Amino acid sequence: MLRRRNAASTQSWISSMVDRIRRFVAGAAAPEFSELHRSFASWDDIDPTVVQVCHPDWHGVRTATRAFRTPIIESTDFTPFADSLADELALHGVSTLVVQAWPPGSAALIEAVAQRSIAARIVSHSSMAQHGTDAGEGEAVVEAFTLAARGLVQKVGFVKEGLAEAFTAMGHPAVYVPNRIPELPEYETTDLGDGLHVGILLDPYWRKNVTTQLGAAAILGATAHVTRIPEVGYLNGLSIVEHGSVPWETFIGLQASMDLNMNVTLSECHPMSPMESYLSGVPCLVSATSSLFRDDPDLYALTTVTEADNPRAIAERATLLLENRSEAIERAVEWMNTHDLIAAERFADFVA
């Protein structure tokens, strides 16, 4: 048995959840605001036409935001900076602000930029499967459409395929804005030792299905590497290494050190981690909850689990993927390059 837990893992997970939901908790204590972090050193060095904002600690969203290749400003809460940042954007000629995934303070920032005649766009990274069950997700979408109805937001986009049609049908105009291919940072891999090592680097909430995937790892006889070990007593006999929340560069290197990564979730939008895995040369098993690889039937058959809550089905597809890893990696990268062009065009239309 191997079951190692980093000392700060539980607290870091709690902190990330508090960041995500505190704006919806009545009577919550005043948060400690972060400073603004810019992806650029000087306004003179960039094209300021379109600027995006996001949360620095939401890895998937942050990676997706970077992939659209515009200047980015990050904060854990934009509330105290709304007016000063809006002034700064107006001063430097920003014409469109894109808010990715609704970090705290987004509404205040949109109100402020609207007063300065800067157009606003919102991109949601949630799915309807989360709405009404996961804290804050549905509320954030309602808030986005409310601002749109007031004329403060000109377009609302969803990275999850199919949601734009559904919301438009309900009287809330929306568009599909799929994620682009991530740009990987410099990273270092780690020798994890003998045996099969499987990365299940997902937090065990938001239907990420971690426990089922750990069952698959048990069938495979693998050592599972997780972000946080689910609080399930029968997992004690498994070989599990818990890594906690780590910086993005460390996360990419960790994924790249695995024999196989798993992202077999019960709810997904347009996941970045599988793309990062394939770009680093490691196959990643996914579920039929996103549009990844769907229009390449052979690649889809190698990489995608249709019965995501069945550990045996996951293990069987994992074995097939490992047996065909070189082909899967080559085809996945080719697929991503093709669809990146489509995503780039959609984003250009979105911010136009």
The token duo for 13 is 């997970």
**pLDDT value of residue 136:** 80
Size (the chain), residues: 352
Closest CA to 180 of 271, 251, 99: 271
What's the rounded Cα separation, in Å, for the pair 296 and 22?
41
Angle CA 71–268–232, to nearest 5: 120
pLDDT in tens, 22-75: 333 333 344 444 689 999 999 999 999 999 999 998 989 999 999 999 999 999
Amino acid residing at 31: P
pLDDT in tens, 290-333: 999 999 999 999 999 999 999 999 999 999 999 999 999 999 99
What's the rounded Cα separation, in Å, for the pair 50 and 348?
10
**pLDDT value of residue 131:** 87
Domains and CATH numbers, the chain: 18-177 (3.40.50), 197-339 (3.40.50.2000)
DSSP at 88 = H
The token duo for 243 is 């890594």
